[in-house]
């Protein structure tokens, strides 16, 4: 599972950089300021949570580590994915997914904290 966290974090980080560059160059003239801000938020959260996935890699495997890895991967997909879609003009109903992704990311941080706590004992 630790290799999966490292791989997922590396892929998510690379995709965040690519999405940021795509937004800054290709979408700059296409999207309005509000949509660009949504895009930027998605990129920023994706990059931070890619780093969180990398933080999971050196922790000894446990149910808390696994839960944090899954939560971060699902949260990135739901939260950032819905923001990317909204920025590109998806129906506003897609925005209903964003808070679920946010809650999933929060649970990932809680599980990561528990994993660190259990490892320290």
3-state secondary structure of 62: coil
pLDDT range class, residue 25, cuts 50, 70, 90: very high
Model confidence at 80: pLDDT above 90: yes
Asked whether the beta carbons of 68 and 105 are under 8 A apart, the reply is no
| Structural domain harbouring 80 | 2-120
Model confidence at 112: pLDDT above 80: yes
Give me the number of domains the chain comprises.
1
pLDDT range class, residue 120, cuts 50, 70, 90: confident
The residues, any chain, with a CB within 8 Å of residue 9's CB and separated by 6 or more, are 50, 51, 52, 53, 54, 56, 57
Query: Tens of pLDDT along 54-70?
Result: 999 999 999 999 999 99
Asked whether the beta carbons of 9 and 73 are under 8 A apart, the reply is no
């Amino acid at each position: 599972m630790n290799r999966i966290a490292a791989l997922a974090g590396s892929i998510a980080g690379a995709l965040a950089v690519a999405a940021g560059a795509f937004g800054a160059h290709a979408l700059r003239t296409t999207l309005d300021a509000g949509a660009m801000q949504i895009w930027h938020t998605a990129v920023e959260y994706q990059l931070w949570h890619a780093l969180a996935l990398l933080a999971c890699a050196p922790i000894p495997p446990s149910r808390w580590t696994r839960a944090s890895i899954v939560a971060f991967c699902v949260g990135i997909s739901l939260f950032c994915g819905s923001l990317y879609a909204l920025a590109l003009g998806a129906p506003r109903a897609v925005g209903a997914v964003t808070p679920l992704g946010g809650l999933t990311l929060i649970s990932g941080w809680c599980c990561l904290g528990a994993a660190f706590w259990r490892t320290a004992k």
